[in-house]
Amino acid sequence: MSLVEHIIAGKPTTGSTDARAPIFNPATGAQSGEVVLGGAADIDAAVANSLEAGKAWAATPPAKRAAVMFSLREVLKRRADEVARTISLEHGKTHDDALGEVTRALEVVEYAAGITEKLKGEFSRNVGPGIDTCSDRQPLGVVAGITPFNFPAMVPLWMIPMALATGNSFVLKPSERDPSSANLVHDLFEEAGLPAGVLNVVHGGKEAVDALLDHRDVRAVSFVGSTPIAEYVYTRGCAAGKRVQALGGAKNHMIILPDADLDQAADALMGAGFGSAGERCMAISVAVPIGEETADRLVEKLTPMVRSMKIGPHDDGEAQMGPVITREAQQRIERMISAGEGEGAEVLVDGRGLRLQGYEDGFWVGGTLLDRVTPDMTVYKEEIFGPVLSVLRSNSYDQAVDLINSHEYGNGTAIFTRDGDAARDFASRIQVGMVGVNVPIPVPVAYHSFGGWKRSIFGAHGIYGPEAVHFYTRLKTVTTRWPTGIRSGAQFNFPSMN
């Protein structure tokens, strides 16, 4: 049975505590290993190493930091299958899905490799008599990331390349449910030439999180997870004087107008609703067809598609969806389905009680389709984070827009239509951070930035892209004048060009 350790100063260590947590293979339900759980002492050691190693790293020319990112790109491409296998064994997602995660991570690495252009300052000559002004973006120091189980390689690689390329050092606290991917990410950086100690990995639970949030030498914290924890991280981190970006939960809707291509919409809902067993913050969990006729036609198409979906372990090449992450997640999702049924939703396809031959003890939930869901139901109000697609019928487009705008979450949304006027109006009026028009999962490419609105994010900056450059750096502006032999005497009025 494997033991996943911390990595501090480039070396594995069991750390300061005897605490351990089990790691499971979600497909079989069997324990596959353990992960050490660190405490405040381990965070102290990691931060101290990042602080020391970060001095030389911050002084490294941006072009040389970019060279590490170029090297990382090649390492990640060469080892993509290995990374995907590591993800799947502990998360459960299919191999192709895991490879997609690696590909999206690679895009951020490529963006970080162009950091030299993004760190260029500005210069203005003669802003006053003999006075010049220049501005510069400088690193913060030690920064930290607290990352979720659902993308155990991609989310760390959304944070770390941008933080390091801008000159910071990094402490990563990954999910303890699938921790091996985080250690592999560290090894990829090491192979790419990153100096030891610039990136440290500490595993753990709340004690480790609190130690990071409270540590005086940690200048910024980036978090991705549930909304209650995001709000906690943001509140506690800000109280400790840190810069914090905390991305939380979601309830993503997709409006289907009567003129939409329903075959295209149904295909989109299948992938967006059930890919990665619905364990995505950008999953579409609510379909909102406009009008009863549109709803009936959509449901007629979706029902056999959900019922025939191929579910299996990650190494089944025909599997379209794998298990959920834990037994607790399985039970919670099934309770949510039962709650929806009890509150009046029609269960058209029921994923409860699924057992696969040879994998009877795995954490399986089948694809579930609920019809005639209403806004007062628990399955609508709360994030399910599982393979459950709800159909909420709307009488009009305006009613659907108001429905989405009134929800507490504002992460992602989509509209399927052939009407350009409706699509333009939707993109303008909708109170959501990421919008798709005939695109079901509108995750921005790496040279834009990812981030929701409302209670889907706490903090001013989105993750990766241009927003990350601003999050991981601070602005310094320098105004200079060299002696010219002209003396004008003391001036007591506020300085100006005059």
Q: Which residues are catalytic?
A: 281
Sequence length of the chain is: 498
Encoding tokens for residue 174?
Answer: 């990954």
Rounded distance, CA 370 to CA 347, Å? 5
Residue with tokens 């260590």: 13
CA 410 to chain centre: 15
In 112-211, the DSSP E strands lie at 122-128, 131-139, 142-146, 169-173, 199-201
> What one-character DSSP code corresponds to residue 494?
P
Rounded distance, CA 96 to CA 314, Å? 8
Q: What is the DSSP string of 383-439?
A: ---SSEEEE--BS-HHHHHHHHHHSSEESEEEEE-S-HHHHHHHHHH---SEEEES-
Query: In this structure, are strands 131-139 and 122-128 parallel, antiparallel, or unpaired?
Result: antiparallel
What is the tally of helices (H) and strands (E) in the chain? 16, 23
Rounded distance, CA 263 to CA 271, Å? 13
CB neighbour list of residue 226: distance below 8 Å, 6 or more residues apart: 248, 249, 383
The dihedral built from the CA positions of residue 385, 301, 340 and 313, taken in this order, carries a sign that is: negative
Encoding tokens for residue 56?
Answer: 């030389």
Residue at 374: amino acid letter: T
Strand partners, 290: 394
CB neighbour list of residue 414: distance below 8 Å, 6 or more residues apart: 252, 253, 254, 255, 268, 272, 284, 435, 436, 437, 438, 439, 440, 441, 442
Closest Cα partner for 265 from 410, 389, 154? 389
